[in-house]
Amino acid sequence: TEADQSGVWRFREMLHILDDEANIVSLREGNTPLYELRRVAESTGIEHVFAKHQGMNPTGSFKDAGMTTALSVAHELGFDWVACASTGNTSAAMSAYAARAGMRSLVLIPQGKIAWGKLSQAMDYGALTLQLRTDFDGCVRVLNEVVKRAPVYLLNSVNPYRLEGQKTPALEIAETFDWEVPDHLIVPGGNLANSSALGKAFLEMKHLGLVTKLPKISVIQAEGANPLYRSLLSNSGETLEPVEAHTRASAIRIGNPASWKKAVRVIQQTGGYCEQVSEAEIALAKAEIGAEGIGCEPASAVTLAGLKKLIQQGKVQSNEKVVLLLTGHTLKDSDYTIAYHRGDLLKEGEIKDLRPEIELTRRNA
């Protein structure tokens, strides 16, 4: 079965969530590649930089690792409908896994604010897809009303079973390095479920004695969608003030993140950092990851942009081992890539800093 080939269910002893494994809904997710980024190593002066590419999952994003677990629970509980609000990747993953299980899915997305690749996936997998005239945070509010009134299983990232599945890339990383964890793990921050889940995994591994130390887990946000960054800067993560979010990295255009408290704890317990990066820094970093022959969507590229900042600030040393968590496949948002290489991102005037560097990396001018 697919479950036997799944990189998530391989770690089932760490995920006590199902009564009967016959209920597993799997698309053979996980077991994603870890690439060494040699050009990035050269340009940053960090000897060993790796990319754990969660975009190489069946629906092209890290969401699959958590969707196989949560959807299996929904299936076991006997629900006919599942639902989520999404910036695109969650909805793509949910629709695919629901279709495999013979369930229906309801997707609420912010109109005009998600990448076409992701919208097309939800349609292809047969979801009832509603674009609402609001942002992601508005879609979450509407969905919370819907689930109160209808027998629909909620698959937003507050769902604890999603977090359980999203722990598994951390196990894969530790396993790849023979249980000697890297010094740094750098992840994008949107709704902050991913950083929370990976942190939980490393803490559990340490508790079980599988690893002896923790990687410093750092969370990187886009400048225009930076509520966690602001919170840590102004009051050490005691409270979080929602912001109105704007960034071309539409996956992380989130102003009121659900899992911020967990993410604060993970950063503090692992000794990691939170940084923000500009639109230009994201664009340049994305082109550099593309130039390695790997590629990713804009939201994933914040990790490399963030690494550069942490190096400048002396928070990452040249002999330390760094893993960037790439969350989505480059084909998710091909419009962005084309706009970059045609120079349209520059023309629109949103991107002013780093202009010369960006000109150098454009390859189809």
Distance, CA of 125 to CA of 109 (rounded, Å) = 15
- 328 scored as a contact of ligand F0G (CB under 6 A): yes
Task: Give the one residue of 44, 87, 129, 276 binding ligand F0G; rule: CB under 6 A.
Answer: 87
- Cβ proximity to ligand F0G: between 295 and 328 the closer is 328
Contacts of 75 (CB under 8 A, 6+ apart): 23, 25, 101, 103
- 224 scored as a contact of ligand F0G (CB under 6 A): no
Task: Give the one residue of 26, 32, 168, 194 binding ligand F0G; rule: CB under 6 A.
Answer: 194
Distance, CA of 54 to CA of 65 (rounded, Å) = 9
Task: Give the one residue of 189, 227, 237, 295 binding ligand F0G; rule: CB under 6 A.
Answer: 189
Q: Is 29 exposed, middle or buried (0-12, 13-18, 19+ CB in 10 A)?
A: buried
Shortest Cβ 162–ligand F0G spacing (Å)? 9
- 185 scored as a contact of ligand F0G (CB under 6 A): no
Q: Residue 280 in contact with residue 340, Cβ under 8 Å?
A: no
Listing DSSP states for 43-63 in one string gives HHT-SEEEEEEGGGSTTSBTH
Contacts of 218 (CB under 8 A, 6+ apart): 184, 185, 186, 187, 267, 272, 273, 274, 275, 306, 310
Q: Stretches 8-16, 188-196, 203-211, 337-345: which one binds ligand F0G (CB under 6 A)? A: 188-196
- 272 scored as a contact of ligand F0G (CB under 6 A): no
- 44 scored as a contact of ligand F0G (CB under 6 A): no
As beta bridge partners, residue 270 has none
Q: Stretches 80-88, 200-208, 275-283, 307-315: which one binds ligand F0G (CB under 6 A)? A: 80-88
- Cβ proximity to ligand F0G: between 93 and 101 the closer is 93
Shortest Cβ 39–ligand F0G spacing (Å)? 22
Distance, CA of 103 to CA of 92 (rounded, Å) = 14
Task: Give the one residue of 251, 301, 304, 307 binding ligand F0G; rule: CB under 6 A.
Answer: 251
- 88 scored as a contact of ligand F0G (CB under 6 A): yes
Listing DSSP states for 118-175 in one string gives HHHHHHHTT-EEEEESS-HHHHHHHHHHHHHHS-EEE-STT-HHHHHHTTHHHHHHHH
- Cβ proximity to ligand F0G: between 75 and 162 the closer is 162
- 170 scored as a contact of ligand F0G (CB under 6 A): no
Task: Give the one residue of 276, 300, 303, 337 binding ligand F0G; rule: CB under 6 A.
Answer: 300
Q: Residue 120 in contact with residue 127, Cβ under 8 Å?
A: no
- Residues near ligand F0G, by CB under 6 A: 61, 63, 86-90, 157, 188-194, 251-252, 297, 299-300, 327-328
